[in-house]
Amino acid sequence: MRIIIIILIALFVISPIVGFSQKDSSGIYFTVKDYTNQKLTFAINCKNEKHKIKVDMIFHQKEISIKHNDSTYKYPKDSVYGIKYCDGSVVRIFKNSEFLMINAGETILLYKVEKGSGMKNDPVVTNYYFSKDAESEIQKLTINNLKSAVPFNHKFHDLLDMEFHNDNELIKYDSFHKITRINKIYLNSLIGKEK
């Protein structure tokens, strides 16, 4: 029974990752349901179509502009869940800011935000964030915030303490299992809970 549960959990995690990592399409996810169902609006096939999506407009910072076919569309940022680009990257819009997903398709989502120009007086600073699932709020990636996001899963809390010694280690990737360590630990914490 335990092996069946492990296989089902693995299929649940791996199958969405395949869909999310495809690099042949681009478009807008207006809702979290669109994201989880991989339903793109203004979708294109990147191999033979082009469009422009702008999120960082100087005079319209709370808008997104999409030039699709021969028309331009503008939407308030807070009406868009995320954007998928032709390189396969997904950016989630949260509180009018952009968060680059670094593990699209996994349960606990991790995000990266880089600030700074890289010039001498303005070095690039990278901050990491997470959401406990695709629908939840984005928070700073810390051990304490992860525990607070899943308050009743004490096995997860204990596994976090055993695996990570500080917050900087939380972005580790398990290359053997092809999943972030946080999600591997989270899945391990669920084994046996179905009984």
Q: Are residues 112 and 162 in the same domain?
A: yes
* pLDDT, mean of each 10-residue run, the chain (195 residues): 46 46 82 96 91 73 88 93 94 94 96 89 93 97 97 96 96 95 96 64
**Could you say which of 87, 112, 133 is where a domain stops?**
87
The whole-angstrom separation of Cα 83 and Cα 90 is: 6
Q: Are residues 53 and 42 in the same domain?
A: yes
The pLDDT, as a whole number, for residue 61 is: 75
The whole-angstrom separation of Cα 44 and Cα 62 is: 24
**What is the pairing mode between strands 97-101 and 90-94?**
antiparallel
The pLDDT, as a whole number, for residue 3 is: 46
The pLDDT, as a whole number, for residue 134 is: 97
DSSP lists the bridge partners of residue 63 as: 76
Q: Are residues 40 and 1 in the same domain?
A: no
Q: Are residues 114 and 191 in the same domain?
A: yes
Q: Are residues 81 and 149 in the same domain?
A: no
**Could you say which of 38, 56, 87 is where a domain stops?**
87
The whole-angstrom separation of Cα 130 and Cα 132 is: 7
Residue 5, Cβ neighbours under 10 Å: how many? 16
The pLDDT, as a whole number, for residue 51 is: 84
Q: Are residues 105 and 190 in the same domain?
A: yes
The pLDDT, as a whole number, for residue 16 is: 45
Q: Are residues 99 and 192 in the same domain?
A: yes
**Could you say which of 44, 68, 87 is where a domain stops?**
87
Q: Are residues 98 and 46 in the same domain?
A: no
Q: Are residues 61 and 151 in the same domain?
A: no
Q: Are residues 74 and 99 in the same domain?
A: no
The number of folded domains in the chain is: 2
Q: Are residues 150 and 68 in the same domain?
A: no
Domain that holds residue 68: 27-87
Q: Are residues 133 and 103 in the same domain?
A: yes
The pLDDT, as a whole number, for residue 117 is: 81
